[in-house]
Amino acid sequence: MMDTLKQRWHLLPISRQMLLLVNAILVGLVALVLAIDYRMRIERQLHEKKIALTKEAKTTYESLLVAEVDGGDAIQGLKHFGADWCSWSSAEDSGHSPARSQHPECCTRS
CA atoms of 99 and 106, how far apart (whole Å): 8
CA atoms of 106 and 28, how far apart (whole Å): 51
More confident residue, 7 or 75: 7
Could you tell me the pTM of the whole model? 0.51
**What is the average pLDDT score of the chain?**
78
pLDDT bin (cut points 50, 70, 90) of residue 68 is confident
Quick: pLDDT tens for 7-38: 888 899 999 999 999 999 999 999 999 999 99
pLDDT on residue 87: 58
pLDDT on residue 62: 85
CA atoms within 13 A on the CB side of 36: 6
Q: Where are the domains of the chain?
A: 2-107
> Which is nearest to 82 in space by CA: 101, 109, 55, 54?
101
Tell me the one-letter amino acid at 6: K
Tell me the one-letter amino acid at 48: E
The enclosing H or E element of 24 equals helix 14-70
